[in-house]
Amino acid sequence: MTSVMALPPIATVRLRPRVEADPRSRPAPLFQRKYATNAPRQTIVIPTFNERDNVRALLDRLATALPANNTEIIFVDDSTDDTPAVIEECARDYPIAVTVHHRDTPTGGLGGAVVEGFRRSRGDWIVVMDGDLQHPPEVIGELIDSGVRDGADLVVASRYAAGGSRDGLADRYRRLVSRASTLVTKVFFYTSLTQVSDPLSGFFAVRRTSVEIDQLRPDGYKILLDYLVRNRPGRVNEVPFTFEARLAGASKAGLAEGLRFLRHIALLRLGETRLRMLAFALVGLSGLVPNAFVLWQLTTLGMHYLPAAIIATQVAIGWNLALTERLFRSRLHRKSPSRVARFFLLGNADLVLRVPALALLVDEAGVNYLVANVVTLVVSFLVRFVVVDRVIYAQRPTATANSVNPALGVEAA
């Protein structure tokens, strides 16, 4: 990770001691002190999905908890309802600057929305929180004060630190899933998470200079884990908090998000290329079943094993193509007959080497033809993966950022 410069206000600003009328009174929290700077002190990033009934109460509590002249709030919205319109209406007479960015394509899920908020933020500190009031706005000041006081890069609002609570989780089942998910994560990423009791928290504050946005690859709602593993922040503090009950609406967690979470863990642990290679190997392994079955059937009917192997290969290629299209679906830009043709061409190019090798193993070495067939398929796997990954399903550059409508404060994707 690149070295991080100290935040200028911390290094260069010395406030004179306050003269208190009451000697027992305490100085104002660091969070409330005002610095002469063009950028806001803190940016609050709130990803939303159909949270229209929570917006007004959330903004009311944020206005009470935050200094208006040193804060900006960015909603990144993936809603299918009128949540953006509700936010815009509430923001008209709101004391804090509010921006809404609606994404028609929710790339990366909630984590992708948070990264979009990172890109658009201007504050020295970026606070991430949900829009359903399970994350109390009143804790934001403690998060930033902790980071400024101790020079931390990240401050996590933790349900599992001493004094924290997860009472807001809907039922015993969700509490069990939450605890199990946290345990699994800490086992897989022990080195990266030694300072963090709640690596799956959705409520945290990061020092702007500690975020390497281009390194983040979010997939789903666990953006903090992605940041911890990929950006590897320096000092990490925790502030305990009580995870509150959702004000309105339904939880977005479910089986689909659970599977997405497991896939994200595998991606972080193995790396993108190795994970695709593993998945590609499993696809190829599954193709051995139709290949061997067709080969066996044709030879049973009296066909010579070499032409039977060629026909069996065509069946297996079709099988593998269907699964590979699913595996590389994020790279499919349009239906392409040429892609299908290249896939079949690659599969049959195998035969130029596999058929002579197959004949050599069977006729000269005396290996059973079914076993020899499997051996030649395994040997060709690596070359086929490289060609599929780098040529047939090559990654294309992503599009640039979206435009801004400054008149409304609402941005269109």
pLDDT at 384 over 50: yes
Residue 357 near residue 376, CB atoms below 8 Å = yes
The terminus-to-terminus CA distance of the chain in angstroms comes to: 31
* CB burial of residue 26 (10 Å; 0-12, 13-18, 19+): exposed
CATH 3.30.160.620 fits 8-270, yes or no: no
Among the listed ranges 13-22, 158-167, 248-257, 337-346, which one has the minimum average pLDDT value?
Answer: 13-22
Q: Pick the most confident of 12-16, 74-78, 367-371.
A: 74-78
pLDDT at 17 over 60: no
pLDDT (average), residues 166-175: 66
> What's the pLDDT at 44?
96
**274-325 per-position pLDDT tens digit:** 666 667 777 777 887 888 899 899 999 989 888 888 898 888 888 888 887 7
Q: What are phi and psi of 70, to 5 degrees?
A: -135, 25
> What's the pLDDT at 327?
65
> What's the pLDDT at 274?
64
The region, left, alpha or beta by phi > 0 then psi within -120 to 50, assigned to residue 337 is alpha
Per residue, the 3-state secondary structure of 379-403, as one string, reads HCHHHHHHHHHHHHCCCCCCCCCCC
**Prediction pTM value:** 0.61
pLDDT at 27 over 90: no
Domain residue limits, the chain? 8-270, 272-392
Residue 244 near residue 133, CB atoms below 8 Å = yes
pLDDT at 74 over 90: yes
The Cα-based distances of 13 to 7, 10, 34, 36, 369 in angstroms read 10, 6, 11, 10, 79
Residue 34: how many other CB atoms lie within 10 Å: 10
pLDDT band per the 50, 70, 90 thresholds, residue 206 = very high
**348-362 per-position pLDDT tens digit:** 777 777 788 888 888
> What's the pLDDT at 275?
64
